[in-house]
Amino acid sequence: MTARAPLYAVRDVAKRYGHLVALDGVDFSVDAGEVVGLVGDNGAGKSTLVRVLSGANIPDSGEISLEGTARHWRSPQDALAAGIETLYQDSGIAPDLTVAANVFLGREKLKPGLLGKLGFLAEKEMREDARRELERVGIAVPSAGRPVSKLSGGQRQAVAIGRAVAWANKVIILDEPTNHLGAKQSAEVLEIIRQARSKGLGVVFISHTLPHVLEVTDRIVVLRLGKVVANAPTSTFTPDSLLKAITGLA
Amino acid sequence: MKLKLKVLIGAAVVGLMSAQAVAQDKKLTIAFIPGIASDPFFKAMEIGAKKKAEELGITLIWQGSASEYSPQTQLPFVDSALAQGVDALILVPTDPDSLQPSVAKAQAMNIPVITVDTTVTDQSYLTSHITGDNVDGGKQAAKTLAAQIGGKGEVFIMSGSPTGTTNVLREKGFREELTANYPDVKIVDRQYAYSQPATATSAINTALLKYPNIAGIFAIDGTSGTGALAALRNSGKVGTVKLVGYDAYKVQVDALKEGVFTALVAQQPGREAELALEYAKARITGKDADKIEKTVVIPNVVLTKENLPETEKYMYAQ
Amino acid sequence: MASAPQSSRVEAGGSAERLRDLLMRQDLVLLVIFIAMIGVFSAINPRFFSLPAAANILQDFSPVVLMAIGQTFVIASKGIDLSVGSVLGLSGVVMALVIRACNEAGYDPSLTIGLGLLAAMAVGLAVGLVNGLMITYFRLVPFIATLATFGAAAGLSLVATGGVQIAGGPQAVIMLGNKAYGGAFTVPVIAVFVVIAVSWVFLAKSRFGRWTYAIGSNAFAARGSGIDVQRHLIKVYMLSGLLASLAGAFVYFRLGSGSPLSGRGGELSAIAAAVIGGVSLHGGSGKLGGTVLGALITTAVLSGLIMVGVEPNWQQIVVAALIAFAVGIQSVRGPSAGGTS
């Protein structure tokens, strides 16, 4: 069997903040149509790795490759343009803006012609598109004209996830997407993850909630103190062995 | 031992005497601390001071707060001058009490002090106090304005601030003169500009609205004057409303020529500085010291368009 | 495909809630206050309700509203600009110096005034650029960065003028500052209204405005969505500086001279106008209409108090009360209640 390059991979990534080593020689990859869980205790380096993957942080060393080609992200804009969507831990939502404004944040549609060149927003069009995209993912948000702050925590999270899924066309990274969510809403999020996989996206799923990870992922990568200590198919883990790998306690 | 001591004492005496002799020939250093460095009145004073210092062969240290007229910002300059051990201190005290300790300090160091324009509460140590007369200035303004409006009518006072002593004294003189000699001239209102010409413009415009019969305005300082100019132009009342201002800055003299100001009360800041330096040198060297007067009041001059040929020379240097 | 999750559905507002929303709309409340205020002052002194009085208010209002518009953008981005008052002064002074020099060199008045305006705007943009760079690349907190430029600009004004006012412009300057169409509208005032209209549209309907709100609301999310936050913030502070310099030009036309002390305290008036107008200091919201009304109310109050014979010092107390009221409404309505245009 020929080794085909994974969809999105980073190799031998290191990152330190002063004396603090956040990541040390980390290899990580995700394939199209694969859900990879990324787990680890607090301080293990998950958030740093997420930021390297999303283009928000430039690693001190290591290689990034997308579809076999070496890439170099100077800012989140580069990664986004390449088709990598990231849902950050605090949901990356601007509370004062409307649902539609949030969905199109950074990618606003401009009016055609001269008005567009002057920077005028095509607001009505974006509102329609946002509603349609979110519905497609399974989220109904009427009155998309109200600020997101008026929605509940769960609804905000839904908008954030919906946005990520709507825009993603290669990889989607979800950092703690089920935080603040109750059981029912969490189940909906997991369903969205499955949908994303069946669409052919590579999904990176970071979570503290181990049962969720065991339920929806194909492979699990465990980080401890900045290093990868386990990288294996989900079926090879039990709740116990997973916990042990994370904490390092026998 | 006794011999060593005698030699030491002898050397000391010789040293002191030579130092004295050197001092007599050494150039005098005099510090002049204005109320605020960036102000056209004090700028004119500075020009007069520098000219006189050069003439008398004095090293002049002119230093003051860049932008604030207050004891807090003035004191460091005074302290620094005294610490340098200047031969004399000329001072424009920003507050009569706050600067008193500095005068006491100078006294302890045997440094003569002369105050200019404003003074301290206890003047006993001062070599001299040289000033214009703000109360008289106010009176002159009242006389001039009353005459220009025909001896009767409504007038308005535009003042700079309620606490500035110059403002307060000028207003006092103005009111006293009107009460005493011009019973048919009525002061309808007085507003403060707080150093902003735009505030003065606005206040005067509003006053003109509220009292449509205002015949004359007294602009107590430069800021009020600038504001008044704009206000009269705004409302098209140049000429119909008489405007008496204070201080002969070039800008105001130009406006006088144009006819917007109808009179200006001028002090003589340059002259005040010159006299202060003359007195300081006299006091230190002892030469002509008998000519020093304890208090000198330098008279104001009223400039009008008519008398400008004679009075233009009183325009402040800049 | 999963059906729309129940929990994600948002309740549509009933008519009662819509009425409450209306009452809570800060700009409507402000309009009512403004009208009531005019009514009371005019009742006590009928001359207040006159064209000359309005003309006077417009002259006071114009520089304040220009700076307040700048503050609206800056505060919406969760920043603050304390330098605008000093920029007003410095740009007015630079404009005066350039105009005087050109006039003495015998240039055509239109050219003279044009060059003066360009010089003033250059000053505003330059200070704004310095502010922006300090805040982004040098990572200074906006309060500290703009406090530094506030001092530097004020000092420069005094150094450049020696504390003296600078006049010496052509007659055209006086004309422009004083010829009023319809009794109250000079050319500079008309220009200010144009700026207000353009700014309103810009803030409410353009991508620049939206990104400004986004950065104020959640700068991290904005960056994560691919927005170059640093570059945008620099533009925002340059805009604030530019508007402050236009305010300086306005005051120059009004007075016919540039004074180094002009604009002192301007930053506080501008911030007060914006806050009263509903711009939240938390960032992310604030409508221009509110700011304009805030500026109108605070400047009309001063004129009104003088007209009715109350000590003008009460103006500061009135403004403080208005700020307290505005902030109070905001806390009752909760965060991001100001809304984005």
Is A88 within a domain? yes
Q: What is the pLDDT of residue A3?
A: 62
Structure-model confidence comparison of residues C73 and C259, the more confident one: C73
**Residue B224 sits in the same domain as residue B151:** yes
User: Tens of pLDDT along A119-129?
Assistant: 999 999 998 88
Please answer whether residues B200 and B228 qualify as being in contact, where contact means their C-beta atoms are separated by less than 8 angstroms: yes
Is B1 within a domain? no
The 3-state secondary structure of chain B, one letter per residue: CHHHHHHHHHHHHHHHHHHHHHHHHCCEEEEEECCCCCCHHHHHHHHHHHHHHHHHCEEEEECCCCCCCCHHHHHHHHHHHHHCCCCEEEECCCCCCCCHHHHHHHHHCCCCEEEECCCCCCCCCCCEEEECCHHHHHHHHHHHHHHHCCCCEEEEEEECCCCCHHHHHHHHHHHHHHHHHCCCEEEEEEEECCCCHHHHHHHHHHHHHHCCCEEEEEECCHHHHHHHHHHHHHCCCECCEEEEEECCCHHHHHHHHHCCCCEEEECCHHHHHHHHHHHHHHHHHCCCHHHCCCEEECCCEEECCCCHHHHHHHCCCC
C/B touch flag: 3 or more CB pairs below 8 Å: yes
Distance CA B16, CA B23 (A): 10
Is A33 within a domain? yes
Number of structural domains found in chain A: 1
Is B186 within a domain? yes
**Residue B178 sits in the same domain as residue B194:** yes
**Residue B180 sits in the same domain as residue B89:** no
Q: What is the CATH number of the domain that holds A158?
A: 3.40.50.300
Q: In Å, how far are A244, B111, B221, C287 from C200, measured between CA atoms? A: 59, 64, 40, 8
Band (pLDDT 50/70/90 cuts) for residue A142 is: low
User: Tens of pLDDT along C230-279?
Assistant: 999 999 999 999 999 999 999 999 988 898 888 888 899 999 999 999 89
The residue of chain C with its CA nearest to that of A158 is C8
Please answer whether residues C184 and C114 qualify as being in contact, where contact means their C-beta atoms are separated by less than 8 angstroms: no
Q: Is B103 exposed, middle or buried (0-12, 13-18, 19+ CB in 10 A)?
A: buried
Note whether B230 contacts C: Cβ–Cβ < 8 A: yes
CB contact under 8 A, A108 and C207: yes
**Residue B154 sits in the same domain as residue B211:** yes
Interface confidence, given as ipTM, is 0.84
Which residues on B lie below 8 Å from C259 (Cβ)?
196-197, 223, 226
Residue C196: partners with Cβ closer than 8 Å, 6 or more residues away: C65, C69, C288, C292
Chain C residues bordering chain A (beta-carbon distance below 8 Å): 1-5, 7-10, 12-13, 205-208, 210, 213-214, 216-218, 220-228, 283-285, 334-336, 338-340
Band (pLDDT 50/70/90 cuts) for residue C7 is: very low
CB contact under 8 A, C306 and B227: no
Band (pLDDT 50/70/90 cuts) for residue B32 is: very high
Query: Count of A–C CB contacts within 8 Å?
Result: 145
Q: Could you say which DSSP state residue C289 is in?
A: H
Q: What is the pLDDT of residue C236?
A: 98
Q: What predicted TM-score, i.e. pTM, was given to this entire model?
A: 0.82
Is A57 within a domain? yes
CB contact under 8 A, C261 and B222: no
User: Tens of pLDDT along A222-242?
Assistant: 999 999 999 999 999 999 999
User: Tens of pLDDT along B265-277?
Assistant: 999 999 999 999 9
Is B64 within a domain? yes
Band (pLDDT 50/70/90 cuts) for residue B25 is: low
Q: What is the pLDDT of residue C3?
A: 38
Note whether C307 contacts B: Cβ–Cβ < 8 A: yes
**Residue B157 sits in the same domain as residue B126:** no
Average pLDDT, rounded, for chain C: 87
Distance CA C282, CA C79 (A): 9
User: Tens of pLDDT along A65-80?
Assistant: 999 899 999 999 999 9
The SS3 of residue A199 is coil
Q: What is the pLDDT of residue B119?
A: 87
Is A18 within a domain? yes
Is A233 within a domain? yes
**Residue B144 sits in the same domain as residue B259:** yes
Which residues on C lie below 8 Å from A90 (Cβ)?
218, 220-221
Please answer whether residues A161 and A189 qualify as being in contact, where contact means their C-beta atoms are separated by less than 8 angstroms: yes
**Residue B310 sits in the same domain as residue B161:** yes
User: Tens of pLDDT along C150-204?
Assistant: 999 999 998 888 777 888 888 888 888 888 888 889 999 999 999 999 999 999 9
Query: Is the C-alpha dihedral spanning B253, B254, B255, B259 positive or negative?
Result: positive
Q: Across B34-48, C98-112, C312-326, which has the greatest mean pLDDT? A: C98-112
**Residue B184 sits in the same domain as residue B116:** no
Which residues on A lie below 8 Å from C227 (Cβ)?
77, 105-106
CA distance B209 to chain C (A): 7
A/C touch flag: 3 or more CB pairs below 8 Å: yes
Q: Residue B11 pLDDT more than 70?
A: no
Q: In Å, how far are B141, B241, C287 from B214, measured between CA atoms? A: 16, 7, 42
> Subunits that touch chain B (at least 3 Cβ pairs < 8 angstroms)?
C
CB contact under 8 A, B209 and C161: no
Residue-range definition of the domain harbouring residue B180: 134-268+303-314
Q: Is C27 left (phi over 0), alpha (psi -120 to 50) or beta?
A: alpha
Is B3 within a domain? no
Q: What is the pLDDT of residue B301?
A: 93
Q: What is the pLDDT of residue B20?
A: 53
Longest CA pairwise span in chain C (Å): 79
**Residue B173 sits in the same domain as residue B201:** yes
Q: How far is CA B101 from the centre of its chain?
A: 22
CA dihedral C250, C254, C256, C258 (to 10 degrees): -50
Q: What is the pLDDT of residue A86?
A: 93
User: Tens of pLDDT along C25-53?
Assistant: 778 888 998 999 999 999 988 888 888 88
Query: Above pLDDT 70, what percent of chain C?
Result: 90
CB contact under 8 A, C45 and B210: yes
Q: Residue B18 pLDDT more than 70?
A: no
User: Tens of pLDDT along C226-238?
Assistant: 999 999 999 999 9
The residue of chain C with its CA nearest to that of B191 is C312
Number of structural domains found in chain B: 2
User: Tens of pLDDT along B95-124?
Assistant: 888 889 899 999 999 999 999 988 888 889
CB contact under 8 A, C256 and B229: yes
Note whether B98 contacts C: Cβ–Cβ < 8 A: no
Is A200 within a domain? yes
Please name the member of C154, C259, C306 whose beta carbon is closest to the beta carbon of B226. C259
CB contact under 8 A, C210 and A108: yes
Distance CA A87, CA A56 (A): 12
Note whether C92 contacts B: Cβ–Cβ < 8 A: no
Please name the member of A92, A135, A184 whose beta carbon is closest to the beta carbon of C4. A135
CB contact under 8 A, A138 and C334: no
The SS3 of residue A84 is strand
Which residues on C lie below 8 Å from B39 (Cβ)?
163
**Residue whose tokens read 């009269």:** B232
CB contact under 8 A, B209 and C56: yes
Please name the member of C158, C174, C262 whose beta carbon is closest to the beta carbon of B197. C262
Distance CA A126, CA A145 (A): 11
Q: Please count the other Cβ atoms lying within 10 Å of the Cβ belonging to residue C330.
A: 22
CB contact under 8 A, C261 and B233: no
Is A2 within a domain? no
Residue-range definition of the domain harbouring residue A123: 8-247
Structure-model confidence comparison of residues B237 and C3, the more confident one: B237
Q: What is the CATH number of the domain that holds B37?
A: 3.40.50.2300
**Residue B257 sits in the same domain as residue B189:** yes
Query: Is the C-alpha dihedral spanning A124, A127, A129, A131 positive or negative?
Result: negative
Q: What is the pLDDT of residue C316?
A: 79
Is A1 within a domain? no
Q: Residue A57 pLDDT more than 60?
A: yes
CA distance C238 to chain A (A): 18
Band (pLDDT 50/70/90 cuts) for residue C23 is: low
